[in-house]
Amino acid sequence: MDTNEQMNAVGFYEGLPIGNEASFINERQPIPSSNERDILVKVKAVSVNPIDTKLRQTAKHQSQLHVLGFDGVGEVVSVGKNVEKFTIGDRVFYAGTTKRAGSNQEYQLVDERIAALAPKNLSKEEAAALPLTSLTSYELLFDKFGLIPKENANQDKSILVINGAGGVGSILTQLAHWAGLTVYATASPANFDWLKENGVVHPVDYHENIKDSLENLGVTSVDYAAVLFNISFYFERVAELIRPFGHIGTIVGLDTALDISLLKNKSVSFDWEYMFAKTDFNYQIETQGEILALIAKLADEKKLKTTLKRTYATGINAENIKKATADVETGHMNGKVVISGPFNGGSL
């Protein structure tokens, strides 16, 4: 590929409210060239995640276009000299890194170690909904909680998932169910069917007292709790519910201090999960490609379903990324929002 060519990219120069015309803009950029372990991917579909909104909202003015986008599906068009896993023409999916330009560009450099072949039986939109939430869920369940990542290998264990209908929750409940856990999860009653479709045995109304609701089901304690929301609202109650030597984990930052001494006498572990920690610190990054290979296998075997909820399929451009981002910023989306089609923000 002639890397003197230009490509379309979507980004911004400073963090602005999504209603601002310049919150995302279309721009032309040089096509990057692959080297070492990098593959160059022609991007076909992307997804918007809460981290996209947080990074945009807090971004300061900068002189270069800031290109976000983490979930991506596309075709390998060039490979670096040390690439071992992929060849030109492969369809791959990945969740990217905070350290490089993201998937909201026509051609993206991706380290081969954090990518995998995309599920064969899913569309590009269905596949694009999976990487970031799948990696987050897998790492919390199996890296941090120490559960066994095999089908039905944890049948004597139970887990409570707070915010089970969200993007991460909808995958985490499926993986927990696949691994054999009994899954309890909170959501609005309007989303109970969605929870059940995604591996939840007992939906719990988040408007009600969770401890009382579980006791009404005959449950007085759980082995694990995944709090996929501001844990400050739930910490004391979850600390009561968790069994001795259990695990409480979260993916959301704190706005107030937690009294973790409440966990001491039960020897309960508190676990953080941040999917980008591995690529931020170059720590076992190859495991992310391995995890995604398993996710693709489970999807192809219909043991894991996509959580795609809404698609903007008329092209990857500033207008559609604004729409998808506005959806995510409502905080009320089940599953994932995906943008697909050609990059058509400017003339080619």
| DSSP codes joined into one string, 269-319 | EEEE--TTHHHHTT-STHHHHHHHHHHHHHHHTTSS---EEEEE-S-BSHH
What pLDDT shows up at residue 333?
79
Mean pLDDT of the chain: 95
Q: Mean of the pLDDT values across residues 77-84?
A: 97
Q: Mean of the pLDDT values across residues 264-291?
A: 98
Phi, psi dihedrals of residue 155, rounded to the nearest 5°: -70, -15
Where residue 90 falls among pLDDT bands split at 50, 70, 90? very high
What pLDDT shows up at residue 345?
75
Residue range 206-258, pLDDT digits in tens: 989 999 999 999 999 999 999 999 999 999 999 999 999 999 999 999 989 99
Report whether pLDDT(4) > 90: no
Closest CA to 300 of 179, 123, 148, 46: 123
Q: How far apart are CA 133 and CA 304, in angstroms?
A: 12
Kindly give the residue spans of alpha helices, DSSP state H, lying in 45-166.
50-57, 124-128, 131-138
Residue range 166-198, pLDDT digits in tens: 999 999 999 999 999 999 999 999 999 999 999
What pLDDT shows up at residue 149?
98
What pLDDT shows up at residue 1?
57
Residue 39, beta-bridge partner list: 79, 110
What pLDDT shows up at residue 346?
53
Report how many helices (DSSP H) and strands (DSSP E) the chain contains, helices first. 10, 15
Residue range 116-131, pLDDT digits in tens: 999 999 999 999 999 9
Taking a C-beta distance cutoff of 8 angstroms, is the pair 160, 226 a contact? yes
Structure tokens at 130: 């999976």
Q: How far apart are CA 285 and CA 137, in angstroms?
A: 16
| DSSP codes joined into one string, 174-205 | HHHHHTT-EEEEEE-GGGHHHHHHTT-SEEEE
Q: Mean of the pLDDT values across residues 262-275?
A: 98
Long-range contacts of 275-278 (CB under 8 A, 24+ apart): 275/95, 275/132, 275/135, 275/136, 275/139, 276/51, 276/97, 276/98
Structure tokens at 221: 């304690």
Residue range 25-34, pLDDT digits in tens: 999 999 999 9
Residue range 124-154, pLDDT digits in tens: 999 999 999 999 999 999 999 999 999 999 9
Report whether pLDDT(81) > 80: yes
CA distances from 278 to 27, 99, 249 (A): 30, 11, 17
CA distances from 158 to 94, 97, 181, 242 (A): 30, 32, 5, 10
DSSP state of 218: T
What pLDDT shows up at residue 348?
35
DSSP state of 172: H
CA distances from 126 to 80, 290, 300 (A): 28, 19, 12
What pLDDT shows up at residue 146?
98
Report whether pLDDT(23) > 70: yes
Where residue 97 falls among pLDDT bands split at 50, 70, 90? very high
Report whether pLDDT(199) > 90: yes
Report whether pLDDT(267) > 50: yes
Residue range 32-72, pLDDT digits in tens: 999 899 999 999 999 999 999 999 999 999 999 999 999 99
Between these two residues, 327 and 333, which has the higher pLDDT value? 327
Query: How many CB atoms are located within 10 Å of the residue 301 CB?
Result: 11
